[in-house]
Chains A and B, each alone.
Chain A
Amino acid sequence: LAKTTQPISMDSYEGQEVNITCSHNNIATNDYITWYQQFPSQGPRFIIQGYKTKVTNEVASLFIPADRKSSTLSLPRVSLSDTAVYYCLVGLYDYKLSFGAGTTVTVRA
C-alpha cells in the first residue's frame, strides 16, 4: 500500500480556496488517487478520484503532476460546512484502502 503524507490541519475562512497537498512517493503504476471527506460520526464521503493531470467535478478539483508523487485537492470558495477531515488515499488493484491521519480543515466565518 502506498503511504500518504498530508498536513494534520489547515485553517481557512469562508469564501477562500483551500488546497491540500498529499505526498505519495511510492505510488504504483496502477494506483488511483482518491479523496474523501468525513464529518464527525459519519462515514467518509467520496469527493474525487484521479489518475493523472487534472480532474474536476462539482465540488472540487484534483491536480496530479506528471510524476504522480503528490496530488493537491482544491476546494473552491469554502463555507463553514466544509469543516471536516479530508483523507487522501492511494490504491486500486491493491484495493484495501489505508487511511492515514487525514487533514482537519477548519473554516471560520
Chain B
Amino acid sequence: GAVVSQHPSRVICKSGTSVKIECRSLDFQATTMFWYRQFPKKSLMLMATSNEGSKATYEQGVEKDKFLINHASLTLSTLTVTSAHPEDSSFYICSARKPKREGAYEQYFGPGTRLTVT
C-alpha cells in the first residue's frame, strides 16, 4: 500500500476565519491529489483535483475562491477554507494518485480532517 497523511485530524474554528488542511503522500510522489468532502452518512463528494505545479481543477458548484488549493510539491497539497461558515463544517478527505507499473493508478486516501465551524 501507500500512506497519505492529513493534518490536522480535527479543527474547530470561528465563523469568518480561514483554516488550512495539509495532505501529504509519505512514501511516494503524487503529481495529482484530490480533495473530497463528506457529510454525515453520505458518500464522498469530489471537490477538486490538485495538480503539482499548476492550478487546481474544481468540480461544478465548488467555489474556487472559497476553497483554495495549492500543490506546491510532489508530496504536499493544501486546502484552505477561507471565511469559513457553519455550513462548511464537514469531513474533508484527500487522496493521492500513485502510478503502478502496469500503467494503471491507485488512489490512496488520507485519514480525513473533521472541520467544525462555530
B94 to chain A, nearest CB (A): 8
Q: Which residues of A contact B44 (CB under 8 A)?
A: 44, 99
**Is B112 within 8 A of A95, CB to CB?**
no
Contact count band on A = 20 to 34
Tally chain B residues at the interface, Cβ within 8 Å.
26
**Is A42 within 8 A of B111, CB to CB?**
yes
**Is A87 within 8 A of B43, CB to CB?**
yes
**Is B104 within 8 A of A32, CB to CB?**
yes
**Is A101 within 8 A of B111, CB to CB?**
no
Q: Which of B1, B4, B43 contacts A99 (CB 8 A)?
A: B43
Does residue B28 face the partner (Cβ distance < 8 Å to A)?
no
Interface-located stretch among A10-18, A45-53, A61-69, A73-81 = A45-53
A96 to B36, CA, bound (A): 11
A interface residues, Cβ below 8 angstroms from B: 32, 34, 36, 41-46, 49, 51, 87, 92, 95-102
